[in-house]
Chain A
Amino acid sequence: MKFTLSWLKTHLKTDADLATILKRLNAIGLEVEGVENPAEKLAGFKIAQVLTAERHPQADKLQVLSVDHGDGNPLQVVCGAPNARAGLVGVFGVEGAVVPSNGMVLKKTAIRGVESNGMMCSTRELELGDDHDGIIELDAAAPVGQVYADWAGLNDPVIDVSVTPNRQDCMGVRGIARDLAAAGLGTLNAIIVPEIAGVGPGPDVRTDDVDGCPAFFARTVRGVTNGASPEWMSKRLKAIGQKPISALVDITNYIMFDLGRPLHVYDMASLKGGLVARKGKPGEQVLALNGKSYTVDEMMTVIADDEAVHDIGGIMGGEHSGAQDGTTDVLIECAYFTPERIAVTGQKLTLTSDARGRFERGVDPAFLDDGLSIATSLVVSLCGGTPSEATRAGTPPATPRTVVYAPDQCLALAGVHVPADEQKRILESLGFGVDGEASRVEYEDGMPVMVPGSWTIIVPTWRRDVDGWPDIVEEVVRIVGLDQVPSTPLPRGPGVARPTATPEQLVERRVRRTAAARGMAEAINWSFIAEKEAAAVGGGDWTLANPISEELKVMRPSLLPGLLSATKRNVDRSATSVRLFELGRRYFKQGERATVGFVLAGEKVARGWQAGKAQGFDAFDAKAEVVALLAAAGAPVGNLQNFGEASAAYHPGQSGTLRLGPKAVLAEYGVLHPSLAKQFGLTGTVVAGEIFLDAIPGKRKSGFMRAPYAPPALQAVKRDFAFVVPDMVEADVLVRGVKSADKKSIVDVRLFDVFVGPGVEDGFKSLAIEVTLQPGEKSFSQEELEAISAAVVKAAQKLGGSLRG
């Protein structure tokens, strides 16, 4: 909402300077978004008169002017404008002035060999209009030498405030003035509503849609002459960025910005019969003022005559029925449209307008008669004509609301004490009615007794937002100033702060920092991915109805696509080694699953003077990360079983899942399927993994005490075995088999060699393991060791293995 300082002062009598006004606007909730004084950019442009104009000796289209800019020393100026001539009074830019349209600094120069000092300007150069056919021609009586902006009344700061959706009353300059007056910055001038002596009956208007348009008031004015609006009006409209069109149109705009009251003026010559506010009919078209055609429906309110729809009620008028240059008879509409209906219609049509912005917030329902009178009076005074009586179809919802309020509630909710009489003053200055008595102290036998009081607050009709006592507190505190609210510490529990993190949060923190410590960089990728990316990792359950682009459309079922896209971007930026992880959610119909994903691509070890050639990643690098992150998350990694059957995202022969039991999949990992890597533009081996944090069983919290433990006194014994086993026997199966051969003595089994080749039959492989035996009270005897060895061999034999000879 924009307005100028002088415009504000038509409503507010104040001595406050601009800075004070701006500060107070912010303090009372009208956030100042910008202030601009057009005079500032016109500094250095003065009113000047052309004394003589001669042909330029070197150029046909140029003239050499002698320009008087008021100091008695006429300057020589070269000028190309066709209208430059002796006697013309225009706007002259002196040396050092900056031309607003292009930022050029004016200086003494020579044009085709002739000295030129400064410039006579066009309206476009000064950003005062679009005209560039010639230089500005002012009234011959304009005072030569005066600063142009001062003379033109442009030295008037334009203030732009952001009005929150609840403050419909501040969508007009008057509402802002009222707020400032309440906040102690002056007094609000009384509003003058002229009496209209109507001649003849009011126009034929009615409302058939009382839900959408409960009230439709109108008058006609016959015999008007439309033309340009007066300068005071067009100047204010221009200052706030509105283009003056004609007196009839400008009057409706002016009243909308001045009083927050949108109106519409119809050319009666374009109407067939009376006007009715009714619901739209399916398929009905309206050609609106913006030149676009809109299809309305039965959820929208339109204004129509016997033949056509002329107006999208409360949002935009029609192209053919508005006031034109030759208009002689007009109908002035002053209606009330239901905010909810306007909002829905505007959203459906994606059509915004200044009128919509006001009706949507809710205009003052008690201001229809006055608004219509003010508009009629302005039309008659600026365009002549004879007004009719008013037609008042329907009834606006203008019954004032009341709110029961106790002044103590200000302290209870806002924590600031404001004396009751001060509260009353504030509320009354904002237009609220205050009835009843505040709490008071009475004395019974000399003892003070508090008699609780309460007020009945009558809410002004222009404050649709106020409907409960907290609103009243808000009004009081806003005007008193939030800086008056004392900062009050929250009550604090005894002792030091208690831990607050949940087990899930602790797991996430540990996993995140473990991944970072292991050399991976945390990325945050979009939660939504392209449909084909989602399809490549199993398909997503949630597809947006209104995605911002095809690339960001499906809620990710896997963290891999986002990480792979990020990997590709890094590779394109010449990264040779990419280690990225993300901790985020995957989205399914059953819920959102906390997940860690990582991708390792490019070089694991760069070429070096020690390592030689660069080395890439392999599936076991992925496995190492998965196991480390699972351990950080508190998963029982020792008990996890490695299965195949990772998803189709992975190389079928170089991937796996880690499970707790056959069903609970805690993680999957491996070499990425080459076709998936290719889909993301990646070449070479890419390895990846995902850990499903929500599948990890929570640890039971059993206090800080650890299980009792003393390191064994006797040294552990290590024994190596090599078994030849069929190819299909998985290493892990052998290790587990051997481990369970003697659960008491065997504390660890570690596989340290795999061999296939000479000496090992085709279809078989040799697996070498190191078995750690821990004696208990006394050392193993030879017999015991032999018995354990035999049990180990037997366990291997069960799997088809034999001791390698």
Chain B
Amino acid sequence: MTEISALKAGLIADIAAADTLDALEALRVGALGKSGVVTGLLKTLGPMSPEERMDKGPPIQDLRESVTTALADRKAALEQAALDARLASEKVDMTLPADAGAFGSVHPVSQVMDELAEIFADLGFSVATGPEIEDDWHNFTALNIPETHPARAMHDTFYFPDEEGQKRMLLRTHTSPVQIRTMMNGTPPPIRIIAPGRVYRSDSDATHTPMFHQIEGLVIDKGITLGHLKWTLETFLKAFFEREDIVLRLRPSYFPFTEPSVEVDVGYTLANGQRVIGGDGDAADGGWLEVLGSGMVNRKVIAACGLDPDEWQGFAFGTGVDRLAMLKYGMNDLRAFFDGDLRWLKHYGFSALDVPTLSGGVGA
């Protein structure tokens, strides 16, 4: 064994035996540092003649390379071991709870209003709004509800005190005044709107609250008939409940602002004691629920809005948004809608990302 190969074997054995990065660094300095042994040997190559270098160079170069590689390998191994040790020491109990963050939710009434807007947008209806503090002309007179109509009595309508020379102001009792405002806004028909919003009646018990939500629909065009109304309501309810087996029962009724007037019942089926919308209400385990009031817009109403009833006709409908929400999502107490109970809102509310879309289904 030559001197160099003995040196190499010694150094490699030392490197393999080094058990800290510091020890390894000391070995590196001792071998490859400025005054290291390997460095010293390399330095002897300079003054040599080419022939001598040809002879003595390769073993020295080999020594340098082997030592360098051994150092790098050992270093990597030591670092890996150190990392493993650190990671092992960092183990935590991952069954500990993570911060859940705050839950937020969208109220069912808002969600259903968004659903309705989405469905009716596809049918060409836009969303219209109007004031909640109305005058009696828009809320009653223009809708062909005469002074003596019982709905105008104090016990149904919230009034504000009379002011000299002013129109009588009240809280709208339905969303129908938006019909009037839409027909009078100066844009000539055709009109297709829905108008959701808060309405008020002086009523309070298990199924009535003094404030609730309605949605109004209005179509004014040429040649619109009761047949279009029927189709629109069927189409809307099928889309809303996302069921094809929706059966409607239309009953003649009376509203001052429509003629003919039609009340609409929807068939339900009893399933586990709950009313599930869908199916024939006349079936053995079925029944009918009144969901909508509607009709052909009364000619007097069209005329009151400054349109010619011989030219324009159409239909209107109205329904309770809260009630639609209850029928679709199964709440049974209307008062809870307005209580702000976080537990209820968490259970019946909707995720911010439950945006109703036609492609994803309007329901959530």
Binding site for B on A (CB under 8 A): 26-29, 31, 164-167, 339-340, 343-344, 347, 350, 360, 411-416, 465, 468, 470-471, 473-474, 477-478, 482-483, 485-490, 492-493, 497-502, 504-505, 509, 512-528, 542-548, 552, 555, 562-563, 565-567, 569-570, 573, 575, 577-580, 583-585, 587, 591-592, 605, 608-611
Contact A545 B124 (CB under 8 A): no
> A628 vs B198: C-alpha distance in the bound complex, in angstroms?
27
Q: List 9 A-B contacts (CB under 8 A).
A: A31-B251, A347-B154, A471-B259, A482-B252, A488-B225, A524-B338, A544-B158, A562-B340, A592-B133
A-B pairs with CB below 8 Å: how many?
260
> A471 vs B353: C-alpha distance in the bound complex, in angstroms?
48
Contact A416 B226 (CB under 8 A): yes
Contact B107 A522 (CB under 8 A): yes
Contact A343 B150 (CB under 8 A): yes
Contact A543 B339 (CB under 8 A): no
Q: Is B47 an interface residue (CB 8 A)?
A: no
> A594 vs B270: C-alpha distance in the bound complex, in angstroms?
41
Q: Is B159 an interface residue (CB 8 A)?
A: yes
Contact B296 A413 (CB under 8 A): yes
Contact B341 A583 (CB under 8 A): no
Q: Kindly list chain A residues whose C-beta atoms are within 8 Å of the C-beta of B101.
A: 519
Rounded to whole Å, the gap between the CB of A251 and the closest CB of chain B is 29
> A470 vs B343: C-alpha distance in the bound complex, in angstroms?
51
8 Å CB contact of B227 from A340, A415, A546: A415
8 Å CB contact of A500 from B117, B133, B253, B298: B117
> A528 vs B114: C-alpha distance in the bound complex, in angstroms?
25
Which of B117, B253, B340 gathers most chain A CB within 10 Å? B340
Contact B104 A515 (CB under 8 A): yes
Contact A340 B148 (CB under 8 A): yes
Q: Kindly list chain A residues whose C-beta atoms are within 8 Å of the C-beta of B106.
A: 512-513, 516, 522
Contact with A along B73-99 (1 / 0, CB 8 A): 000000000000000000000001101
Q: Kindly list chain A residues whose C-beta atoms are within 8 Å of the C-beta of B342.
A: 521, 570, 575, 578, 580
Q: Kindly list chain B residues whose C-beta atoms are within 8 Å of the C-beta of A31.
A: 251, 253, 263
8 Å CB contact of A165 from B150, B200, B225, B252: B150
> A569 vs B342: C-alpha distance in the bound complex, in angstroms?
10
* Given A343-B148, A413-B296, A526-B338: A470 touches B227 (CB 8 Å cut-off): no
Contact B299 A468 (CB under 8 A): yes
Rounded to whole Å, the gap between the CB of B29 and the closest CB of chain A is 38
Q: Is B313 an interface residue (CB 8 A)?
A: yes
8 Å CB contact of B131 from A340, A579, A592: A592
Q: Kindly list chain A residues whose C-beta atoms are within 8 Å of the C-beta of B104.
A: 515-522, 579
Range of interface residues on B (Cβ < 8 Å): 35 or more
Contact B232 A490 (CB under 8 A): yes
Q: Is B25 an interface residue (CB 8 A)?
A: no
Q: Kindly list chain A residues whose C-beta atoms are within 8 Å of the C-beta of B123.
A: 490, 492, 497
* Given A544-B160, A587-B132: A500 touches B251 (CB 8 Å cut-off): no
Q: Is B363 an interface residue (CB 8 A)?
A: no
Q: Is B352 an interface residue (CB 8 A)?
A: yes
Contact A579 B102 (CB under 8 A): yes
Closest A residue to B223 by beta carbon equals A412
Q: Is B126 an interface residue (CB 8 A)?
A: yes
Q: Kindly list chain B residues whose C-beta atoms are within 8 Å of the C-beta of A611.
A: 99
> A165 vs B234: C-alpha distance in the bound complex, in angstroms?
27
Contact A470 B124 (CB under 8 A): no
Which of B101, B126, B345 gathers most chain A CB within 10 Å? B345
Contact A569 B341 (CB under 8 A): yes
* Given A339-B148, A527-B200, A552-B210: A415 touches B226 (CB 8 Å cut-off): yes
> A698 vs B299: C-alpha distance in the bound complex, in angstroms?
38
Contact A470 B252 (CB under 8 A): no
Contact A414 B126 (CB under 8 A): no
Q: Is B202 an interface residue (CB 8 A)?
A: yes
> A473 vs B261: C-alpha distance in the bound complex, in angstroms?
11
Contact B254 A167 (CB under 8 A): yes
8 Å CB contact of B251 from A29, A471, A577: A29
Contact A500 B230 (CB under 8 A): no
Q: Is B48 an interface residue (CB 8 A)?
A: no
Q: Kindly list chain B residues whose C-beta atoms are within 8 Å of the C-beta of A517.
A: 104, 352-353
Contact B227 A547 (CB under 8 A): no
Rounded to whole Å, the gap between the CB of A347 and the closest CB of chain B is 5
Contact A522 B131 (CB under 8 A): no
8 Å CB contact of A522 from B105, B227, B355: B105
Q: Kindly list chain B residues whose C-beta atoms are within 8 Å of the C-beta of A562.
A: 340
Contact B133 A542 (CB under 8 A): yes
> A565 vs B117: C-alpha distance in the bound complex, in angstroms?
31
> A528 vs B204: C-alpha distance in the bound complex, in angstroms?
14
Contact A524 B121 (CB under 8 A): no
> A548 vs B159: C-alpha distance in the bound complex, in angstroms?
11
Closest A residue to B109 by beta carbon equals A524
Closest 5 CB pairs of A and B: A519-B102, A566-B340, A415-B227, A415-B225, A29-B252
Contact with A along B177-193 (1 / 0, CB 8 A): 00000000000000010
Q: Kindly list chain A residues whose C-beta atoms are within 8 Å of the C-beta of B153.
A: 347
Closest A residue to B351 by beta carbon equals A516
Rounded to whole Å, the gap between the CB of B145 and the closest CB of chain A is 11
Contact A519 B103 (CB under 8 A): yes
Rounded to whole Å, the gap between the CB of A609 and the closest CB of chain B is 6
> A414 vs B352: C-alpha distance in the bound complex, in angstroms?
43
Contact B114 A477 (CB under 8 A): no
Q: Is B211 an interface residue (CB 8 A)?
A: yes
Q: Kindly list chain B residues whose C-beta atoms are within 8 Å of the C-beta of A518.
A: 102, 104
